[in-house]
Amino acid sequence: MRVRRRATVELLLAFLAAAGAGWCWVAARSTVEVAPILDGEPKTTSVVYYPPLLVLMLVLATVAGVLAVVAIARLRRADSPRAENGVPGR
């Protein structure tokens, strides 16, 4: 039972890290107006990214992936027939 609880907490933390990564991705983007190169040309818009938030997004996405894999492996190991017989898994 304790293994399932730990895996559930890891999955919850993975979900929160993934949500944080999504929020960082949205917050890192902004649009700016770019001045025309020649006179008489219209202004254009461009998307700029804030690098520290992109790094945070990459870290959170990595943490979310690792936690999800570890939690799923823990749940599968707990459900295996070897775990039910008291034989420890690899």
Domain ranges (residues) in the chain: 2-36+43-84
Give the helix/strand (H/E) hosting 81.
helix 81-84
Largest CA distance in the chain: 80
User: pLDDT tens digit string along 19-77?
Assistant: 999 999 999 999 999 998 888 889 999 999 999 999 999 999 999 999 999 999 999 98
Q: Within 10 A of 90 (CB to CB), how many other CB atoms are there?
A: 4
Does residue 84 surpass a pLDDT of 60? no
pLDDT of residue 83: 58
- Pull the structure tokens for residue 84: 């039910």
pLDDT of residue 81: 73
User: pLDDT tens digit string along 22-31?
Assistant: 999 999 999 9
